[in-house]
């Protein structure tokens, strides 16, 4: 019987990634180059689109998405409050205003299109939809709502790499799609990300912005005797390394097996926890595909979340909270007091949210242990 902690997340990185990284190191070309280009084209192909731009993080992906919209002070971007803070920070960095939207229900923790409809006004430039936990936000409703308006739809697909949807893979349905390859994500490169965009002109601009809008990249210039470049836009260095891209290519190949394992574990949790009185298991509505990135549960009303998490920790189960709502954070409360408002659905459930361990290396015995630990903590 193992006494090891059952971790919230873990990575499937193994010998194949080590071999790929070794090959890059031996090649002596470490910054973005041909391996990164292959990763971009393979990731795009997996999504069913023609091209993608690899970047150094999911935050960089979101920042580039906002830069491509030319946000200005006074502009508003509607952002789910139940997402990682990066989604709001990249708006605030422009001096624009993140306006927070509610979740739809205790069963659907993605952005509520009805609340988005209430928030639309001429200052709104974009809506961010996070595919929370790896389940699709209601892209059909959001697209219908925004059709005929100049408001862009930005998909934060950090939880949902290569997930099928009737309208196209998640990330490819809106105007811009952003992915993260952080260490806890389903597909990881340590730190990394990817951007896709419906408009090839926008994607080309994002590619230039990733590299200070130099008209020619370092690796393109490396073959010229007399190389030069121009600069025609204010950009950043958000390039990934070849080391990260080599890991990403291998990880992309692991996704189908990884997905199947996560789905089996999620089903095991649902079977083991479905009858616990008062415990909510969001995400029962059928979806064609999902990434099973997180397994969030809603503790029974009135349960002490800190005590619950401490009890699981003592029982060697690590938990987390995805997320503490952004509109509760001091910066966002203080700075956006005039546009801030209560979000009744999220406000009522945020204190009950806990994420259970979910990753492809968990055994059935680990999952059963987690189920027992949850039941024990709630009946103590
Ligand atoms: C991880 C994450 C990000 C940020 O990605 P990084 O690679 O950590 O910068 C953004 N949004 C969501 C929903 C995430 O989970």
Same CATH topology for 15-251 and 255-379? no
From the alpha carbon of 159, which atom of ligand 1 is closest? 15
Burial of 364 (0-12, 13-18, 19+ CB in 10 A): exposed
Q: Which residues pair with 55 in a beta bridge?
A: 193
Q: Ramachandran region of residue 278, left (φ > 0), alpha (ψ -120 to 50) or beta?
A: left
CA–centroid distance, 86 to ligand 1, in Å, is: 7
Topology annotation, domain 255-379: 3.90.1150
Question: Is 70 exceeded by the pLDDT of residue 92?
Answer: yes
CATH says 15-251 is which class?
Answer: alpha beta
In degrees rounded to 5, what are phi and psi of residue 50?
-80, -30
CA–centroid distance, 158 to ligand 1, in Å, is: 6
Residue nearest to ligand 1 atom 2, measured at CA: 158
Q: What is the mean pLDDT of residues 76-88?
A: 98
Quick one: tokens of 15? 């010998």
What is the overall mean pLDDT for the chain? 96
For ligand 1, residues with CB inside 6 Å are 57-59, 83-84, 86-87, 130, 156, 158-159, 180, 182, 193
- Over residues 275-330, the pLDDT tens digits come to 999 999 999 888 999 999 999 999 999 999 999 999 999 999 999 999 999 999 99
Contacts of 301 (CB under 8 A, 6+ apart): 278, 352
pTM (two decimals): 0.97
Q: Which of 71-85, 215-229, 245-259, 319-333 has the lowest mean pLDDT?
A: 215-229
Residue from 360, 131, 182, 173 nearest 255 by CA: 360
Contacts 24+ apart (CB under 8 A), 121-124: 121/76, 123/74, 123/75, 123/76, 123/97, 124/75, 124/76, 124/77, 124/78, 124/99, 124/151
Question: Distance (Å, rounded) from C-alpha 44 to C-alpha 330?
Answer: 38
CA–centroid distance, 275 to ligand 1, in Å, is: 33
Packing angle between helix 364-379 and helix 242-273, nearest 10 degrees? 50
Q: What is the mean pLDDT of residues 364-368?
A: 98
Q: What is the mean pLDDT of residues 70-99?
A: 97
From the alpha carbon of 181, which atom of ligand 1 is closest? 7
Q: Where are the domains of the chain?
A: 15-251, 255-379
CA–centroid distance, 250 to ligand 1, in Å, is: 21
> In the chain, pLDDT over 90 holds for what percent of residues?
91
pLDDT at 105: 98
pLDDT at 17: 98
- Over residues 247-264, the pLDDT tens digits come to 999 999 999 999 999 999
Question: Distance (Å, rounded) from C-alpha 267 to C-alpha 321?
Answer: 20
pLDDT at 1: 47
Question: Is 60 exceeded by the pLDDT of residue 2?
Answer: no
Residue from 314, 296, 312 nearest 350 by CA: 296
Question: Distance (Å, rounded) from C-alpha 266 to C-alpha 250?
Answer: 24
Contacts of 80 (CB under 8 A, 6+ apart): 87, 100, 101, 103, 110, 111, 128, 129, 130, 132
Strand, coil or helix: what is 30?
coil
Contacts of 225 (CB under 8 A, 6+ apart): none
The residue to mutate among 56, 156, 186, 187, having the most atoms of ligand 1 within 8 angstroms of its beta carbon, is 156
Going by pLDDT thresholds of 50, 70 and 90, the confidence category of residue 104 is very high
From the alpha carbon of 185, which atom of ligand 1 is closest? 1
Q: Which of 34-38, 75-79, 232-236 has the lowest mean pLDDT?
A: 232-236
- Over residues 124-156, the pLDDT tens digits come to 999 999 999 999 999 999 999 999 999 999 999
Going by pLDDT thresholds of 50, 70 and 90, the confidence category of residue 218 is low
């Amino acid at each position: 019987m193992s006494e090891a902690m059952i971790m919230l997340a873990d990575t499937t990185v193994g010998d194949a990634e080590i071999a790929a990284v070794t090959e890059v190191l031996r090649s002596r070309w470490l910054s973005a180059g041909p391996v990164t280009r292959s990763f971009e084209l393979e990731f795009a192909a997996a999504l069913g689109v023609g091209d993608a731009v690899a970047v150094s993080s999911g935050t960089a992906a979101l920042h580039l998405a906002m830069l491509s919209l030319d946000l200005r002070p006074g502009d508003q971007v509607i952002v789910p409050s139940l997402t990682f803070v990066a989604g709001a920070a990249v708006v605030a960095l422009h001096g624009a205003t993140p306006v927070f939207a509610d979740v739809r229900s205790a069963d659907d923790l993605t952005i509520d299109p009805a609340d988005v409809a209430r928030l639309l006004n001429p200052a709104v430039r974009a809506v961010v939809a996070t595919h929370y936990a790896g389940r699709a936000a209601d892209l059909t409703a959001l697209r219908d709502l925004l059709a005929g308006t100049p408001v862009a739809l930005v998909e934060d697909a950090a939880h949902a790499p290569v997930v099928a949807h009737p309208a196209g893979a998640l990330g490819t349905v809106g105007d811009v799609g952003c992915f993260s390859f952080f260490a806890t994500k389903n597909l990881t490169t340590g730190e990394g990300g990817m951007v896709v965009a419906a408009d090839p002109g926008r994607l080309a601009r994002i590619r230039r912005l990733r590299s200070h809008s130099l008209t020619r990249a370092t690796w393109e210039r490396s073959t010229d005797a007399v190389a030069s470049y121009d600069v025609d836009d204010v950009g950043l260095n958000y390039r990934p390394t070849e080391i990260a891209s080599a890991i990403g290519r291998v990880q992309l190949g692991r996704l189908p097996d990884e997905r199947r394992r996560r789905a089996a574990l999620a089903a095991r949790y649902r079977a083991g926890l479905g009858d616990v009185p008062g415990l909510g298991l969001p995400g029962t509505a059928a979806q064609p595909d999902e990434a099973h990135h997180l397994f969030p549960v809603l503790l029974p009303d009135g349960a002490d979340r800190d005590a619950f998490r401490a009890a699981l920790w003592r029982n060697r189960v690590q938990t987390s909270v995805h997320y503490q709502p952004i509109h509760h954070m001091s910066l966002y409360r203080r700075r956006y007091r005039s546009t801030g408002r209560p979000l009744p659905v999220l406000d009522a459930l945020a204190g009950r949210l806990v994420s259970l361990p979910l990753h492809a290396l968990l055994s059935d015995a680990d999952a059963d242990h987690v189920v027992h630990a949850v039941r024990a903590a709630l009946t103590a």
